Amino acid sequence: MHKVTLKRSGLNVSRIGFGGLPIQRIDEEKAIAVIKHSLDLGINLIDTANGYTVSEGYIGKAIADYPRERLILATKTRARDYKTAMEHIKLSLERFNTGYIDIYMLHNVSDLPVLDQVLEKDGAFSALEEAKKAGLIRHIGVSSHGHQTALAAAKMDCFETMMYPYNFVAHEPGEEVLAACNVNNIDFFAMKPMGGGRLDNANLAFRFLLNIPGVVPFVGIEKPSEIEEIAEIENSLTSLTKKDQNEIERIVDEIGDRFCRRCRYCLPCPEDIIIPLLNNLVTFLRHDSAEQCFGQGIVAKTVDMARGCTECGECEERCPYDLPIIEMNKENVALYDKAKAEYERGL
């Protein structure tokens, strides 16, 4: 795994970062094993979030035998106020069992009012600033799914790193945010390199991003085979050929006008349907257990809520990508019912 020196923070990081969200779904032993395997493959950049339940704790245990100075630990808080953010920083340090965190981010700063809120006098940012002065964190970053919010944050001087969705399906907003970060000398981390689970072709997805200067992709890892495949792509990286470009175009056409960026602008729905979650159904059906998909959990609940869509159209008016949400709701419900019937028939 090659390394790159980030321009603003000066951190020397692996070309690909380990994303710590999916390890919540596996047991501690497997999580520790997959983190260690990733480190042994040359990854030194690990990202998680205070809100990802057991993730920080698993990472803390996995890194215990590795020299701390060789690791770049990144995590984030969803807190919006000073007090909660400070509590989260202390908790992250405890869970990682470390004296400092390399990058601490404000997590999912969803829209401009939230950006204003975290930057207020007693907002979460002030806790990060204080922790940085005290040496508890080294760099301050921000993550967002909101295009305008990320652009606004990228123009500010207070953030050193930006985490934003970027992949070859939803590439225009990522390109714009990356360009704004480059102008302002902010390090750019790409989340959702596999389109949030919509893309199957890891080779194309990672070669697309790794060929763009200044982009460090983070990938959520659950199995050793996943990180082995991605590390191999990075180790033998080649430029995209005309054939690759054609294949990218074919995949983008196939996904067509149904690609949800999960920006949440369509919410709230008067029927409380969690539209972005419903639009991620394919990923749940591919990666989650039958119990998680067809049991009494959030997936089944969301699909049931979607059956009650009144077709009021409020969501479609708000979606900046003009997605045909009402039609997609019906398709997702039908997809779920088919998958459930097949599972019950033992197929």
Nearer to ligand SF4, 256 or 346 (CB): 256
Residues 235-264, mask of contacts with ligand SF4 (x by CB under 6 A): -------------------------xxxxx
Residue owning tokens 């990060």: 128
CB of 272 to ligand SF4, least distance (A): 8
Residues 6 or more apart in contact with residue 239 via CB below 8 angstroms: 207, 211
CB of 216 to ligand SF4, least distance (A): 24
CB of 46 to ligand SF4, least distance (A): 27
Taking a C-beta distance cutoff of 8 angstroms, is the pair 332, 306 a contact? yes
CB of 251 to ligand SF4, least distance (A): 18
Cis peptide before 268 (omega within 30 of 0): yes
Q: Looking at residue 223, what DSSP letter applies?
A: S
Nearer to ligand SF4, 227 or 309 (CB): 309
* Backbone Cα Rg of the chain: 20
CB of 124 to ligand SF4, least distance (A): 24
d(C-alpha 102, C-alpha 45), whole Å:
10
Residues 6 or more apart in contact with residue 102 via CB below 8 angstroms: 9, 11, 71, 72, 73, 74, 137, 138, 139
Among 81, 129, 226, 271, binds ligand SF4 (CB under 6 A): 271
Which residues, listed in sequence order, are joined to residue 322 by a DSSP beta bridge?
none
Residues 278-317, mask of contacts with ligand SF4 (x by CB under 6 A): -x-----------------------------xxxxxxx--
Q: Which one of the spans 64-72, 206-214, 240-248, 266-274 is the region binding ligand SF4 (CB under 6 A)?
A: 266-274
Residues 6 or more apart in contact with residue 67 via CB below 8 angstroms: none
Note the residues at the interface with ligand SF4 (CB under 6 A).
260-266, 269-271, 273, 275-276, 279, 309-315, 319, 321, 323, 325-326, 329
